Amino acid sequence: MRKAIAALGLALTVFAGGAGSAATLAENNEAMYRLMMEKRGVTAAQISRIRQIFDSTGRTGQGNPAVTRHPMTPQQAAAKVPGDPYQYYRNAQFERICGRKYMAPLYDPATQRPEDATVCVDMFEYPNVPMAYPVTWISALNAALTCAAEGKRMGDAHEWEGAAAGALLEPDYRFDLGSHGAMRSWHNAKWGQSKNWTYGPQWRRGICAQASSKTPGCNGGSWSGCGSNTYPVGSFPNCKSALGVYDLEGNAAEHMNLPLNPSQMASRGSQTLGVTEMKGSWFIWDSVRAHEEWARWRAPFWHGTQVMSNGSHSNYHLGFRCFRDIR
């Protein structure tokens, strides 16, 4: 056990990102790409396209190494998991259904089996490899393009909500209401009386990756002043939904697609998509609950744009995860 953790820590030393780390953003990204190829089977051609997307921004990766201070190393995180974390988080049933490692099928347990799923979701925030830090400083557009580079896609809001709440239900978008605000108000009123979080009916401290802090003096979002002070994904094995999806609470918030009409639904094959929706909480939540948040909650139109806009938002605590159609 100790030898496995030590080997893991050595392999991921470049990810530590804490004080004294000499790794550059490019070096961290290259180490991440190698891990994606080794542990998830991402191909060299896919990595080449992903590298192009990330390099085009000069920021996309696991945080600005000059200011990012991760509260936990991959080696420390691995010590919280029984045995080899790469094996611990493997699920043979899910892999048969989804056709990929570290993905979970989405379905309604009240009426369906996992084998009835028509879509799967990454078990972790991107890069979707246990013990890696989540990718931040990525726009909604580039998140969608990155998912597409792997043969996956961005998720619709209701799909993320189903993953978090433990049941994927039929879409309930009230397109007839005619505006983002009206649709959001109706949805939150509908679900607000039965709100829950990924791990249960009451919000709790200490169960998810939420005990970190902002960089001192962080002024709201600058590259030079705000570190992505995240944890390795999978650091909190109990931060898990009933459908086997991790880290939907805490760590990094997540880009999703909010369709404003049926032609914008990613789940129905849309390539144009709708508007940006930010899901989940992030790494400071145990001490600062910056806004309301629960499994099926829909956010205000913060930094809102079309998902596929060149001006879509990115910041130090915003990441994403991908979905894959399987039928």
Query: What pLDDT does 3 receive?
Result: 45
Residue 309 neighbours by CB distance under 10 Å:
15
Q: In the block, which residue shows the tokens 């956010």?
A: 299
Query: What pLDDT does 18 receive?
Result: 41
pLDDT at 1 over 80: no
Residue 1 neighbours by CB distance under 10 Å:
10
Query: What pLDDT does 9 receive?
Result: 46
Q: Which residues pair with 254 in a beta bridge?
A: 279, 319
Q: Report the share of the chain in percent with pLDDT over 70.
A: 93
What average pLDDT score do residues 188-209 get?
Answer: 93
Can you give the pTM of this predicted structure? 0.93
Q: Residue 22 is part of a domain; what is its CATH number?
A: 3.90.1580
Query: What pLDDT does 176 receive?
Result: 97
Contact 82, 99 (CB under 8 A): no
Confidence of residue 286 (pLDDT cuts 50, 70, 90): confident
What average pLDDT score do residues 37-55 get?
Answer: 98
Please state, in angstroms and rounded to a whole number, the distance separating the CA atoms of residues 195 and 203.
Answer: 10
Q: What tokens were used for 57?
A: 């921004």
DSSP state of 220: S
Confidence of residue 219 (pLDDT cuts 50, 70, 90): confident
The domain tally of the chain equals: 1
What is the per-residue pLDDT across 141-183, written as a single tens digit (0 to 9) for each?
Answer: 999 999 999 999 999 999 999 999 999 999 999 999 999 999 9
What average pLDDT score do residues 105-117 get?
Answer: 98
Please state, in angstroms and rounded to a whole number, the distance separating the CA atoms of residues 139 and 141.
Answer: 5
Contact 251, 209 (CB under 8 A): yes
Q: Helix crossing, 140-149 with 44-55: angle to 10°?
A: 170
Please state, in angstroms and rounded to a whole number, the distance separating the CA atoms of residues 131 and 314.
Answer: 23
pLDDT at 91 over 50: yes
What average pLDDT score do residues 111-124 get?
Answer: 98
What is the per-residue pLDDT across 7-36, written as a single tens digit (0 to 9) for each?
Answer: 444 444 444 444 334 589 999 999 999 999
Domain that holds residue 304: 2-325
Instruction: Flag the least confident range among 55-59, 118-122, 203-207, 262-266.
Output: 203-207
Query: What pLDDT does 288 receive?
Result: 86
